[in-house]
Amino acid sequence: MKDSPLTDDSFQPIKPGIKQHLGNSGDLSSRKFAIIVSQYHLNITGNLLHGAIETLQENNVPDDNIQVLWVPGAWELTSGTKMVLQKGGFDAVLTFGCVIRGETTHDQHINTTVSNSLGQLGLQYDAPIAFGLLTCNTLDQAIARAGGDVGNKGVEVAKAAMQMLLLQDEVLG
């Protein structure tokens, strides 16, 4: 996989003889990815989606192996994820949404519930689910994380999903 965090020159290897599983090499060309994207804050989630698709393509995942499911908002990311997991045929699921803090605590309830629910689905279906829900205080913070000066979290989410699949291959065979 291109640009794995463990290929960084600053990483100090552990003692020789200790078996390591890095999930940083292997073939992803036959893997199928579902991407669940919230339509709310589309200017943000669309950029996350584009970053993820470009990253998957750069790692030899063909377009035919990428499927996008649009859901109304961040709350529905869990339902959309469960749908594709129940359908089957996907090796990993990427999720993208954006919740920006407002005058009430609604953001905390949405963020916590979606986070916990996606984690539970990953365990229930034994599938990597990559978490791309931006939980920001301001719109400017979201813009910065969706291709702005902080980078594109969509790229990071795609890399996490790919690394988990490759790690799964190494560990489980």
Which active-site residues does the annotation give?
106
Question: How, if at all, do strands 151-152 and 146-148 pair?
Answer: antiparallel
Burial class (CB in 10 A: 0-12, 13-18, 19+), 169: middle
113/127 Cα distance (integer angstroms):
19
Say if CB 93 and CB 133 are below 8 A apart. Answer: no
Burial class (CB in 10 A: 0-12, 13-18, 19+), 153: buried
Q: Measuring CA to CA, which residue among 57, 3, 8 is closest to residue 25?
A: 3
